[in-house]
Chains A and B, each alone.
Chain A
Amino acid sequence: MTEKEKISLMEEIMDLDEGTLTLDSVLDDIDEWDSVAILSYITEVLDKFGKTVKGSEVKKFVTVKDAIEIMQ
């Protein structure tokens, strides 16, 4: 998955229009980055990348870049 596709996936998770997010978008500033989006993010990372993300790790994310780093 390319970086662009990963950002698109984050947009999909947050139900945002395409092109809304950049790597530097600050998650805390996005209303749509709520508990539902976080759980959706957790399942996407699990299903698409076979990785588990803990609550404590999610809390440390500042930008979109931090959230997609694990997507490998």
Chain B
Amino acid sequence: MSSASFEGIKISGMACAVPKDVIYTEYYKKYFGDSEVEKFIKTSGVKTRYITDQKQTASDLCYVAAKKVMEHNGYTGDDIDACVFITQMPDYAMPATAFVLHKRLGLKENCVVFDINLGCSAFPNGISILASMIKSGLINKGLLLIGDSQSYRFKKEEEMIHDNMLFGDSGSACIIENTDKNNGEDCSSVINSIIKSDGNGFDTIITPYPTLNGRLTYKKSDSFFSYMNGIDVFLFAITKVPKLFKEFYKKFNYSSDDFDYFIFHQANVMILNQLEKRLKLPEEKVPRSIERYGNTDGASIPMTIVDLCERENVSDKVKFAAAAFGIGLNWAIISFEMDKKDILPVIYTDDYYEDGYLEDILEEIKGKKKKKNNENDI
């Protein structure tokens, strides 16, 4: 069993941050030619995306989003009982980057802190995990941070591959909390989810070498390319996701009419078109952010929600069904309701964590290395 119904728990705040630097897909025409790039735009849907510079990482984006959402909810570090960071691009090999965020956000000692290594399907997994922690009584309010900065693939401009045009960097922050104790308000709030996995596809999307876009390893590894079996990912998405919806509707007694919007992981428009068609969903109920922000990986569901609320006039209370699929392989679905006022506009930032560059520690490590080498000489 990997499904659950979490009653009395709600997502009480959501924010997303992207880097300030925008890249137009058309820029790549000088590398790949007009027709190739136009075809890419048509099939992927990506027209622009935002890219971190040399010093900014996924955790920096999540930090800015988290600050904003905590401020919006009127929370300080003392109010947050858990800080969970889902990324494939941690700042360091160890410790978990969630501890860096714990420090930067000024969170308290009584706090559960860890990273999860998951990609595109991060959002439904993360919300379910935090909701479970709330239900168990371990925590009352949790911060779910999801971010990736895929632009590590920029090794040399002339070696750019198509994936460079697909992925955009972003960081999201959501606050999940128990509503039971909030003066009886919002007690009807319920989050439903189903999570599925298939390790047989572990090599369908894979980056064989570790620590790619860490704070100090950026552009420094020769072996940081990723592999994706596009055909199998496509087939996986268009077959598993509709089946998952069928199971979800049946299990929780839903129909497509129960939701205002269906939010899908923004893989590419070919997959989105297929899902829309196979699930018989009207286009206006399936918002897309891929055109403006690219495939933003695990953060693509919050990114699409934030983008939707910024562009469209949504109602004060919005019901979402969100499905994501990707690396693992993992696919999951979650439904929830949010107040429009708790969904904040997209933040554009070039903020980064200067102290994270650890100058003193690196000097010390270098000194030790030198000493060790000298000892070996003797």
Once the chains are docked, how many angstroms separate the CA of A52 from the CA of B231? 11
Task: Flag the segment in A2-10, A32-40, A63-71 that touches B.
Answer: A32-40
User: Knowing A35-B43, A36-B39, A36-B43 touch, does A43 contact B232 (C-beta < 8 A)?
Assistant: no
Interface contact B235-A53, CB-CB below 8 Å: yes
Once the chains are docked, how many angstroms separate the CA of A36 from the CA of B45? 13
A20 to chain B, nearest CB (A): 20
Once the chains are docked, how many angstroms separate the CA of A61 from the CA of B238? 22
B19 to chain A, nearest CB (A): 28
Once the chains are docked, how many angstroms separate the CA of A52 from the CA of B239? 9
A32-61 near B? 1/0 per residue, CB < 8 Å: 000110110011001000001111101000
Chain A, 10-48, CB within 8 A of any chain B CB: 35-36, 38-39, 42-43, 46
| B interface bracket (residues with beta carbon within 8 Å of A) | 10 to 19
Instruction: Select A39's contact among B39, B229, B231, B239, beta carbons within 8 Å.
Output: B231
Closest to A38 in B: B231
In this assembly, does B74 line the interface, its C-beta being within 8 Å of a C-beta of chain A? no
Interface contact B43-A42, CB-CB below 8 Å: no
Once the chains are docked, how many angstroms separate the CA of A3 from the CA of B228? 33
Once the chains are docked, how many angstroms separate the CA of A38 from the CA of B230? 10
Interface contact A42-B235, CB-CB below 8 Å: yes
Instruction: Select A46's contact among B230, B232, B238, beta carbons within 8 Å.
Output: B238
A45 to chain B, nearest CB (A): 10
Once the chains are docked, how many angstroms separate the CA of A43 from the CA of B271? 11
Interface contact A54-B232, CB-CB below 8 Å: yes
In this assembly, does B274 line the interface, its C-beta being within 8 Å of a C-beta of chain A? yes
Interface contact B43-A55, CB-CB below 8 Å: no
Interface contact B270-A39, CB-CB below 8 Å: yes
Once the chains are docked, how many angstroms separate the CA of A17 from the CA of B43? 22
Number of interface residues of A (CB under 8 A): 13
**Hey, which chain A residues are within 8 Å of B232, CB to CB?**
54-55
Interface contact B234-A42, CB-CB below 8 Å: yes
A54 to chain B, nearest CB (A): 6
Once the chains are docked, how many angstroms separate the CA of A54 from the CA of B239? 12
**Hey, which chain A residues are within 8 Å of B230, CB to CB?**
35, 39, 55
Once the chains are docked, how many angstroms separate the CA of A53 from the CA of B238? 13
Once the chains are docked, how many angstroms separate the CA of A59 from the CA of B231? 10
B374 to chain A, nearest CB (A): 52
Chain B, 31-70, CB within 8 A of any chain A CB: 39, 43
User: Knowing A35-B43, A36-B39, A52-B239 touch, does A43 contact B231 (C-beta < 8 A)?
Assistant: no
Chain B, 207-251, CB within 8 A of any chain A CB: 229-232, 234-235, 238-239
Interface centre among B39, B230, B232, B239 (most CB of A within 10 A): B232
Closest to B234 in A: A39
B276 to chain A, nearest CB (A): 13
**Hey, which chain B residues are within 8 Å of A46, CB to CB?**
235, 238-239
Closest to B236 in A: A52
Once the chains are docked, how many angstroms separate the CA of A38 from the CA of B232? 11
Once the chains are docked, how many angstroms separate the CA of A45 from the CA of B274? 14
Interface centre among A39, A54, A58 (most CB of B within 10 A): A39
Interface contact B238-A55, CB-CB below 8 Å: no
A66 to chain B, nearest CB (A): 15
**Hey, which chain A residues are within 8 Å of B39, CB to CB?**
36
Binding site for B on A (CB under 8 A): 35-36, 38-39, 42-43, 46, 52-56, 58
Binding site for A on B (CB under 8 A): 39, 43, 229-232, 234-235, 238-239, 270, 274
List 6 extra interface pairs beyond A42-B231, A55-B231, CB under 8 A. A35-B43, A36-B270, A39-B230, A43-B274, A46-B238, A53-B235
Q: Which 6 pairs of residues, A with B, have the shortest CB-CB distance?
A: A55-B231, A55-B232, A55-B229, A39-B234, A36-B43, A42-B235
Subset of 26 A-B contacts with CB under 8 Å = A35-B43, A35-B230, A36-B39, A36-B43, A36-B270, A39-B230, A39-B231, A39-B234, A39-B270, A42-B231, A42-B235, A43-B238, A43-B274, A46-B235, A46-B238, A46-B239, A52-B235, A53-B231, A54-B232, A54-B235, A55-B230, A55-B231, A55-B232, A55-B235, A56-B229, A58-B231
